[in-house]
């Protein structure tokens, strides 16, 4: 009691504060002060403490630790120690809890509702008081002191001014990410939903925030844009960008240390700054790793003896493990080769959220084109005949970057019309004021300038059907009809996302042309032909890799069609010698049976002239069905083919029909076209004779010639 009075004397008497008077004078002052004091009587109807807010910190800075302290237990202990004691606002005191000494200061006192004291329902009225009496049912609320490293948990702590995770000025409608609504929604659900909730609720659930996001997919589909917009959307610090290729420079030692230092610097700012002062409410720090596959390749796979990649990955793993302890860190990695990244980085707790940023669908392409043409539309520079939906329908398998390039190409075409091609380059200002980007500008750029990297290359399969499809009889019609049924099955059936059909028949019967026609009529966004002529000189391994790449590209599209042409040639089959490549055979068997990813559908059309060989290789079982493509077998069918081709005159066709009437022939449509073109080089009087002679030499049915 005397010590408390002495402290008050020092505070209230300026002449005494800070001076060292004699003990007698000091004792005399205390006695005189006590003589002037009287007991304070609390009015329990108005001065019982209902709730008291106390600011808390470690009493001695050297005794600080990072252990969490339960504010609920702390409040119960405080009430037990100081029950029936009086407190005033700004009062300072020392409190012992869990063998630690804490310095306290009373910040706010709220009187207990008088209705509760009378046993009546609470009136809801709150009254601030300067002095109050602590009772058994008082509520004590602890608040961490500013710049304190103390960690409080539990409900008996103040609701700190929480920093909202979403930037208040952010407009989701203007985020400029087209075609990625579902992906962005999934990322938000996995990575940010826990950050939007108040820390107290997240803490009570025992929920840990996601620390890492991996964005992967084809180039130009919006991975970098997504990461950039996430940084803008969140109420976070300026993202720290780490470029993978720059890390691995020629200085090996520098490479090994540079990457971890970057993470360490970002981690240090988050840990030493807001994290210590604001705890779970600290601002979010974002680290973006661009081209992650350049620095995080699978360990043990590098051909170099220096082991730089392994060292960098090992150090990164240790830093990510350290980052995992902080809630105010978000690491975003981007790559188009997720298969190259070390598996240890992909586990939960590191890059936990893995999101594929794939090619946009038609709805997404409408959004992307709208985003890139909005400014032109607002300044009336976009012609009324430009239909965004039409462009979206025509740009199947275009990535976001390719769609942006298409808009730029159309703009360049429109501007080029207003440049005078004279001795000097000048702009026709009179016409330039009426500049508008028209539909023709877009269509011209679509056909000539911008081609999708993952899509249909019309030149690839148009060469196979440059002469059209000659429907010389019912067999051809049946093949096309069955092909249409398989296309519809691929589109509409959810039970069979993978459909594989084999067109088999004798050489020159038109199998490849029919396969290309079925693929073209399907109008699938992705159509590729895997042909032996593109793999001349390839080793077995490189051939397997080329075939696998075609299928990997096909898996990235919603609807895909792959034509595997001349399978026996892909397998290097010959009737003598080594026979075939078993490595390519096994690769094809795996790919023909492998179902595409969920939500994707794939139609495979194979062609072969050696069904018996594929039967021996057990490859026929890999196809869902087999369709036979026959040769022209009767004279009537051959004459019908000649009529459809229109190569001979009516008189010449009648002469040929007379010669072939009732005869059986056996010739493929492709070979027939060659014989016709050879015959047409003769004089008109000898064309029929030459054609029949060539037909005889091809080995048609012997009865025809006898």
Could you report the per-residue pLDDT of 4-24, keeping only the tens digit for each?
444 444 444 444 444 444 556
Catalytic status, residue 533? no
d(CA 229, CA 236): 12
d(CA 678, CA 655): 18
List residues bridging with 92 in a β-sheet. Answer: 105
DSSP codes, 561-592: EEEE--HHHHTT--SSTT---HHHHHHHHHHH
Residue with tokens 């011209």: 444
11: its two tokens: 């505070």
CA angle (686, 692, 696) in 5-degree steps: 140
Active-site choice (512, 572, 608, 640)? 512
How far from the centroid of its chain's Cα atoms is residue 480's Cα?
Answer: 38
Q: Say how many residues make up the chain.
A: 706
Res 321: pLDDT: 61
Active-site choice (126, 155, 363, 593)? 593
- pTM higher than 0.75: no
Catalytic status, residue 670? yes
Regions of the chain where pLDDT drops below 70 = 1-38, 114-124, 156, 158-176, 198-200, 235-237, 244-283, 299-327, 420-425, 428, 430-432, 455-461, 699-706
Res 592: pLDDT: 95
Percent of residues in the chain assigned helix, strand, coil, to nearest 5: 45, 20, 35
DSSP 8-state class, residue 157: B
| Alpha-helix residue ranges (DSSP H) falling in 273-416 | 274-278, 308-323, 362-378, 388-394, 400-416
Catalytic status, residue 511? yes
Res 54: pLDDT: 92
Res 273: pLDDT: 47
Q: Which helix (H) or strand (E) holds 527?
A: strand 526-530
Catalytic status, residue 19? no
Contact 154, 199 (CB under 8 A): no
Torsion on CA atoms 430, 432, 438, 444, rounded to nearest 10: 110
Active-site choice (290, 310, 441, 565)? 565
Catalytic status, residue 144? no
Catalytic status, residue 306? no
Contact 174, 196 (CB under 8 A): no
Collapsed DSSP state (helix, strand, coil) of residue 25? helix
Could you report the per-residue pLDDT of 370-396, keeping only the tens digit for each?
988 988 888 888 999 999 999 998 888
d(CA 314, CA 321): 11
Q: Which helix (H) or strand (E) holds 117?
A: helix 114-117
Active-site choice (73, 240, 451, 670)? 670
Q: How far apart are the first and last CA of the chain?
A: 138
Res 702: pLDDT: 43
């Amino acid at each position: 009691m005397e010590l408390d009075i002495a402290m008050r004397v020092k505070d209230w008497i300026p002449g005494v504060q800070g001076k060292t008077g004699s003990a007698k004078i000091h004792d005399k002052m205390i006695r005189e002060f006590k003589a002037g004091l009287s007991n304070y009587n609390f009015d329990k109807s108005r001065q019982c403490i209902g709730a008291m807010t106390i600011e808390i910190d470690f009493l001695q800075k050297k005794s600080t630790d990072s252990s969490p302290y339960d504010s609920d237990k702390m409040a119960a202990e405080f009430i037990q120690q100081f029950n029936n004691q009086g407190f005033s606002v700004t009062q300072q005191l020392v409190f012992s809890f869990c063998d630690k000494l804490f310095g306290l200061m009373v910040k706010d006192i709220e009187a207990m509702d008088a209705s509760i004291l009378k046993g009546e329902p609470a009136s809801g009225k709150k009254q601030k008081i300067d002095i109050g009496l602590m009772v058994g049912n008082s509520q004590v609320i602890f608040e961490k002191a500013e710049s304190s490293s103390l960690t409080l948990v539990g409900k008996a702590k103040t609701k700190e001014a929480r920093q909202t995770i979403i930037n208040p000025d952010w407009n989701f409608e203007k985020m400029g990410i087209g075609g990625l609504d579902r992906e962005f929604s999934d990322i938000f659900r996995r990575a940010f939903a826990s950050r939007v909730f108040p820390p107290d609720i997240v803490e009570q659930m025992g929920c840990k925030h996601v620390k890492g996001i991996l964005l992967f997919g084809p180039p130009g589909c919006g991975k970098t844009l997504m990461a950039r917009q996430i940084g803008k959307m969140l109420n976070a610090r300026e993202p720290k960008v780490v470029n993978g290729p720059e890390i691995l420079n020629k200085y090996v030692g520098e490479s090994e240390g540079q990457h971890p230092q970057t993470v360490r610097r970002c981690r240090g700012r988050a840990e030493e700054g807001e994290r210590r002062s604001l705890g779970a409410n600290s601002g979010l720090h974002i680290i973006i790793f661009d081209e992650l596959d350049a620095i995080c390749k699978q360990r043990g796979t590098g051909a170099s003896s220096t082991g730089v990649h392994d060292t960098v990955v090992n150090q990164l793993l240790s830093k990510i493990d350290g980052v995992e302890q902080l809630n105010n860190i978000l690491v975003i990695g981007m790559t188009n080769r997720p298969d190259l990244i070390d598996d240890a980085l992909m586990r939960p707790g590191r890059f936990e959220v893995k999101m594929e940023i794939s090619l946009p669908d038609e709805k997404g392409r409408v959004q992307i084109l709208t985003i890139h043409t909005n400014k032109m539309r607002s300044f009336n520079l976009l012609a009324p005949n430009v239909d965004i939906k039409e462009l979206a329908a025509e740009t199947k398998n275009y990535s976001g970057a390719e769609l942006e390039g298409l808009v730029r190409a159309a703009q360049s075409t429109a501007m080029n019309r207003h440049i005078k091609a004279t001795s000097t380059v000048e702009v026709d200002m009179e016409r330039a004021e009426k500049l508008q980007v028209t539909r023709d500008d877009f269509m011209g750029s679509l056909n000539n300038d911008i081609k999708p990297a993952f899509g249909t290359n019309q030149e690839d399969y148009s060469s196979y059907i440059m002469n059209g499809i000659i429907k010389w009889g019912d067999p051809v019609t049946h093949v096309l009809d069955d092909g249409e049924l398989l296309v519809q099955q691929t589109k509409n059936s959810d039970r069979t996302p993978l459909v594989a059909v084999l067109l088999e028949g004798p050489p020159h019967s038109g199998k490849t042309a029919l396969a290309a026609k079925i693929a073209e009529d399907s109008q699938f966004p992705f159509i590729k032909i895997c042909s032996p002529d593109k793999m001349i000189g390839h080793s077995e391994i490189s051939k397997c890799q080329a075939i696998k790449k075609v299928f990997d590209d096909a898996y990235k599209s919603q609807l895909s069609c792959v034509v595997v042409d001349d399978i026996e040639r892909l397998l290097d089959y010959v009737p003598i010698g080594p026979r075939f490549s078993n490595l390519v055979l096994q690769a094809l068997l795996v790919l023909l049976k492998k179902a595409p990813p969920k939500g994707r559908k794939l139609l495979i059309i194979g062609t072969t002239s050696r069904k018996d060989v594929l039967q021996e290789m057990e490859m026929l079982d890999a196809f869902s069905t087999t369709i036979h493509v026959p040769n022209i077998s009767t004279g009537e069918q051959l004459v019908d083919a000649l009529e459809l081709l229109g190569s001979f005159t009516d008189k010449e066709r009648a002469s040929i029909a007379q010669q072939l009437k009732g005869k059986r022939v056996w010739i493929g449509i492709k070979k027939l076209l060659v014989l016709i073109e050879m015959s047409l080089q003769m004089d008109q009087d000898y064309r029929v004779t030459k054609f029949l002679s060539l037909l005889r030499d091809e080995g048609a049915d012997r009865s025809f010639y006898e």
